[in-house]
A and B are shown apart, each in its own frame.
Chain A
Amino acid sequence: MDFFAFLVTQCLNALSQAALLFFLGCGLTLIFGIMRIVNFAHGAFFMLGAYVGYSTVHWTGNFWLALIVAPVAVGGFGAAFELGILRRLYGRDGHAFLMVTFGLTLIMGEVIRLVWGVEALQVKPPESLSDIVFILDEPFPVYRLFLAGAGIVVAVVIWQFLERTRLGLLIRATSQNAEMVYALGTDVALVRSAVFGIGCGLAGIGGVMAAPLVTASLGMAPNAVIDTFVIVIIGGMGSFLGSLIGAVLVAFVQVFGTYYFPDFAMAFMYLIMLTVLVVRPGGLLGKEA
């Protein structure tokens, strides 16, 4: 394999991982930005997405349908959770949210265990994505290209949504000054429910997309939540662009770092976080530095 081919395929690998990390980090940071709460259950929503995706593919044989059903189901569940439970806690300090969302993680983990069982479940990508393409004579899975592409598309869609739509405007305004938005006659509570639902839905779609790479399993949640926190801390709590930069940075350093220094594979992500925290304690694009 010549060096140029190696470079191109590794960059594509990194982009495909960045996409998965972005789906997670973006949702968490949106929720934090507008609600000032850390959603500890984010990994569990990711896992739920994978399992709902598994069932959709299992019953209908259609992976594309799973990409719609899972985020809608997970996002709907998230919004309902906000409406039913979190809404009662606003005004309390952050510990209450941490406890409740942590509790939700445990409950969701157990429910998933009861419904889907303990064995890891296989989610097959559709035939059209199961093939390989040759990039400079090196075989590369089409599915990874699809992941990278999907990440770019979703990032652009969310960016345009936040910048161009009325709900996007309200979300940005609420994250800056919720009282003012409320005083101007907008139902802030509704915006919060919507954002919580969207954030969870993004985690859900990430779960479906990760499933063909890692299978749907009970270990997904704790694993994902740690990665997500690291990305959001690197990018800056509440910053959409920050979560994007964090995801890309972590993915690239992880892929190339593991190649050249495999003994330190686990350390890279935390080293970036440490460096960012020392240089810019609020994260790369965080406002509360």
Chain B
Amino acid sequence: MERDGCRLLFGMTLSSEALAVVPKLAEWNAIFMSSDNGDGRLTGESFVPNFFRANTSGPMGTRAVSLYLRQAGFKNFYALGMDYAWGHNSIGVFKDEVKKSGKNFIADIYSPIGTKDYSTYITKIRQSGADACFLVLQGDDNNAFLAQAKQYRLGDKVQLLTEIVDLNSIHAVGEAAIGLIGSSRYTFTFPGDANAEFVAGWKKEYGNVPDVFEGEQWQACLMLQAGIEKAGSIDADKLRPALETVEIDSIKGKVTMRACDHQAVQRGFMVKVVHKDGAPDPVPDLIATFPADQVTPACRQMTYDS
């Protein structure tokens, strides 16, 4: 960065890395356009003027799940998460949301990272009498749980909910993902001409459909492009004010950058994994959309008042 005099940062995937980089942006005089980083703090307590987030943040994803819960018929909830910060944080937020909506939260349980046998956890979920279970699992752990839950027919008795639905894990477990409900930052089945055009272009280039991050990165590209065209420069002092008022017609619909914390205001989506004739893998199907003003938190906030 320093040697090459780099002025734009793009494509970093881990929130932990982004949090480490943002304090240096002013010194580098560089703009960071986030396409994947979900940590709420980036537009909250760790906000810096040169950071912009085009993507849906983690709290916005959880928010979509909780808005969905208020309208869905489930009454008794259980939660299973990986035993580290992410699992505990997400389930903590979820627990609050369940209580706020006047429903019953039965219990939460945490599995060590790298758990291979989920039979005991599945037994506990079955015994709890819950009609829905919130999962905060990822990678191999998520795949193992879903594959085994399918073998126990857990989904027949309990609706499985998850924070994020992506194509990788659907591909890894196949039919075992069917029925799963979760929030989606992006999926190729979103409606609208802009998305259809993007998906068609992606298919032509790569022979498959774009996953969550690919859609999110495309949206961030569009936003950055709009900003640069408006500013006529990539110089941070010109680009920053230009980006602060950018509005684009994205693959997720209308997306507006707001000046107060540089979070792109956008809708929230809930999907359900279903079987589609002709598709080799199950696909996420849009089941609910929530307006941007309900999904995006107040400026520089990570939580929601109502």
Residues of A within 8 A of B (CB): 1, 6, 9-10, 13, 16-17, 119-122, 124, 130, 132, 139-141, 143-144, 210, 212-215, 217, 219-220, 223, 254-255, 258-259, 262-263, 265-266
Contact = CB atoms under 8 A, between A and B. Distances in A.
A219 B140 contact: yes
Contacts of B49: none
Contacts of A266: 83, 112
Contacts of A254: 117
A266 B114 CA distance: 10
B120 A143 contact: no
B171 A223 contact: no
Interface string B131-169: 000000001100110011001110000000000000011
- 4 nearest interchain CB pairs? A141-B151, A120-B172, A266-B112, A13-B119
Given A6-B123, A13-B120, A144-B119, A120 B148 contact: no
A139 B111 contact: no
B172 A215 contact: yes
Interface size class of chain B, counting residues whose CB lies under 8 Å from the partner chain: 20 to 34
A220 B169 CA distance: 16
User: Could you say which of B116, B117, B144 has the most chain A C-beta atoms within 10 Å of its C-beta?
Assistant: B117
B126 A1 contact: yes
Contacts of B28: none
Interface of B: 83, 109-112, 114-117, 119-121, 123-124, 126-127, 139-140, 143-144, 147-148, 151-153, 168-169, 171-174
Given A132-B153, A141-B151, A210-B116, A124 B174 contact: yes
Given A124-B174, A143-B151, A255-B119, 6 more contacts: A119-B172, A144-B119, A212-B147, A213-B151, A215-B173, A266-B112
B173 A122 contact: yes
User: Could you say which of B111, B124, B127, B144 has the most chain A C-beta atoms within 10 Å of its C-beta?
Assistant: B144
Contacts of B120: 10, 13, 255, 258-259, 262
B119 A120 contact: no
Contacts of B153: 132, 139
A223 B114 contact: yes
